[in-house]
A = this chain, B = another copy of it.
Amino acid sequence: MVKTKNHDLQTQEKIFKAATEIFEEKGFAAARMQEIADRAGINKALLHYYFRSKELLFATVFQALLKKMFEKILSVFMMDISFEKKIKLYYEEHINILIKNPNLPLFLLNEISHNPDLVQGIRETLRYSEMRDVIYRQHSKELRKFGIKKGELPQLMVTIVSMAIFPFAARNIMKMMMEQLGETRNFNSFMQARKEFASDFVITALKNRKK
């Protein structure tokens, strides 16, 4: 009979959590296995017992963080609601997620840029064909009225997501510039206000397009 493993799940969880923090903060290249072991409160050899190599441990963490970034957002994009509602819901949900995980954007952008193989894992998380169907349906139902041509859809989509994601990637520079420019609010309240600003900005730009 197969023996039940005792508390390896606890240990594995501890390692996974520590690795997530370190990798997300420092990136793959600057992360140290020893530091991950220390933060998990275990021996370095135990890392390799549960996750064979740094690459494997990283791949596990990366997949989870990729999911954290896209899962909820994708479900919003798939909803059958008006574009205006969708925009508002998107900024609300995505900015909430990113406030809780402010290092996520830069981490993902960076690792994907430095290791193209990771892109393969994305295909499973992002369901392209479904996404394309939803986008095209919304285009012919609503967006075409706004004078958006099919070929401009990528421009529009990149615009929308960049308004939510970019401030987090540029967080440190923004913090410094904001305090230099006499801004007293902190970054998080700036991002809270951005939910409404971005929604209004996008919707206004769309509704008043020259057709």
The binding surface of chain A is classed by DSSP as helix
Interface centre among A162, A204, A210 (most CB of B within 10 A): A162
A189 to chain B, nearest CB (A): 11
Instruction: Check: A30 CB closer than 8 A to any chain B CB.
Output: yes
Q: Establish whether residues A170 and B109, one from each chain, have CB atoms under 8 Å apart when the complex forms.
A: yes
Known contacts A27-B27, A29-B27; is-contact A155 B194 (Cβ 8 Å): yes
**Chain B proximity mask over A146-175: 1 for CB below 8 Å, otherwise 0:** 000000111100110111011101111110
Q: Assuming the A-B contacts A26-B114, A30-B114, A201-B205, are A154 and B172 also in contact, with contact meaning beta carbons closer than 8 angstroms in the complex?
A: no
Query: Which residues of chain B come closer than 8 Å to A119, judged between CB atoms?
Result: 172-173, 176
Our pick among B169, B176, B190 for the contact of A109 (Cβ within 8 Å) is B169
Q: Would A110 and B110 count as touching, CB distance under 8 A?
A: yes
When distances are taken between beta carbons in the complex, the residues of chain B under 8 Å from A172 are: 112-113, 116, 119
Question: What is the bound-complex CA distance between A170 and B119, given in angstroms?
Answer: 12
Partner of A181, one of B132, B178, B182, B201: B132
A180 interface residue per 8 A CB criterion:
yes
Taking the full assembly, how many copies of this chain does it contain? Answer: 2
Please, which residue of chain B has its CB at the minimum distance from the CB of A184? B151
| Min CB gap A85→B, angstroms | 18
How many Å lie between the Cα of A208 and that of B109 in the bound state?
34
A200 to B119, CA, bound (A): 32
Contact A171 B26 (CB under 8 A): no
Say whether A183 contacts B205, CB under 8 Å: no
Indicate whether A106 reaches chain B with its CB closer than 8 angstroms. Answer: yes
Query: What are 13 inter-chain pairs, A to B, with CB distance below 8 A?
Result: A110-B110, A113-B172, A116-B172, A154-B181, A155-B193, A159-B197, A162-B163, A162-B170, A166-B166, A169-B169, A204-B205, A205-B208, A207-B208
The 10 closest A-B pairs by CB, nearest first: A162-B166, A205-B205, A29-B30, A208-B208, A29-B29, A128-B180, A166-B166, A155-B197, A162-B162, A204-B205
